[in-house]
Amino acid sequence: MSALAATHGAVNLGQGFPDFDGPAEVLAAAKDAIDGGHNQYAPGRGVPVLREAVATHQQRFWDLTYDPETEIVATAGATEAVFASLQALLDTGDEVVLFEPYYDSYLASISMAGAVARPVTLRPPDYRFDHDELRAAITPRTRVLLLNSPQNPTGAVFPRADLELLAELASEHDLLVVADEVYEHLVFDDEHVPFATLSGMRERTVVISSAAKTFSVTGWKIGWLCAPPDLATAVLTAKQFVTFVNGTPFQHAVATGLGLPDDYFTGFVETYRGKRDRLCAGLTDLGLEVFVPAGTYFVTADIRPFGYEDGLEFCRMLPKEAGVAAVPTQVFYVDPRRGRHLVRFAFCKTDEALDEAIERLRRFRP
């Protein structure tokens, strides 16, 4: 969709990357790190200053204590952290319970581990899951629960009660949990409950996050994971033969970012709240049915009021015909029919770009 957007000069509300830069201090820290000679392989677990900054951040925001020596590993983005975790924790034939629609690397990572995905479907308007469907998805072969809250692409933030049920089931069935929390600082309406803060979950959870969203540096690919020593070492062992290490100067810069004062983080979420409200109001005004996200920088909409049934067809046509790009949500389901009429728009874009996209959609509207 990004390639189609470029071909047709479309406003790209498809792929989730900001069209603006992150904090100046963080960008300057990357340049300083390069000039300071931090240009060779990092240690396998990541540069100490980043691991210490992650530990301090976890304590400061979520009251979670992790040892930077043994419980934190820097990764090539959250994507590698998820990939390496699944390669490390799964054997052939193991099952993974996850929620669909999902971030698309999950299914590929599960397949490459030789494991089997057992999706539980989140349905609009609120994208909550059905507790009985969740219980039914767990079998004796289930090994890992793969969570993502706040959730891409739906924007759902799982309420505490739902997370508590997941924690209860993880204990009951002795499951490991991989919790992708890359949108931890993008929650608008509810509270973010880090999964590892729930009773008994810290010792069985690999928590994953990334600099990509929080500091608007998706191109740097600096992520990290926090887990008890045995799990962290297992994931490190898989990661060693994927990338080994990456991005030494950017690891230094992200350490600076994690230490920014509170007003950076509050300003960040307020800016995005404004963008969410702007895009949701614009899309609603056009007549689309919009499922307002409680978190992330994505919103999904039902395109049927525009006279379309198939999101894939709609998104292939839209860049050329309307000059706007979006992503068909159906590609994030095991069975695409479940999300056929849904489309995802990203609002990590300047207000001018969001306004221009709405204006173009207004002209295009049937």
Contacting residues toward ligand PMP, per CB under 6 A: 16, 77-79, 103, 148, 152, 180, 182, 210, 212, 218, 221, 223
Closest CA to 258 of 292, 301, 226: 226
Backbone angles phi, psi at 244, to 5 degrees: 65, -75
Q: Is the peptide bond before 18 cis (omega within 30 degrees of 0)?
A: no
Tokens at residue 197, please? 């803060």
Query: What share of residues in the chain are helix, strand, coil (percent, to 5)?
Result: 45, 15, 35
* DSSP secondary structure code for residue 149 in this structure: S
CA distance 156 to 99: 11
H/E segment holding residue 248: helix 248-258
H-only helix segments in 90-210? 105-112, 131-137, 160-172
Instruction: Produce one character per residue of 152-189: b if its CB has 16 or more CB atoms within 10 Å, e if not.
Output: bbbbbbbbeebbebbbebbeeeebbbbbbbbbbbbbbe
CA distance 121 to 146: 13
Angle between helices 105-112 and 77-89 (to 10 degrees): 30
CA distance 24 to 232: 32
Closest CA to 151 of 142, 162, 141: 162
CB–CB of 118/97 below 8 Å? yes
End-to-end CA distance of the chain: give it in Å, rounded. 22
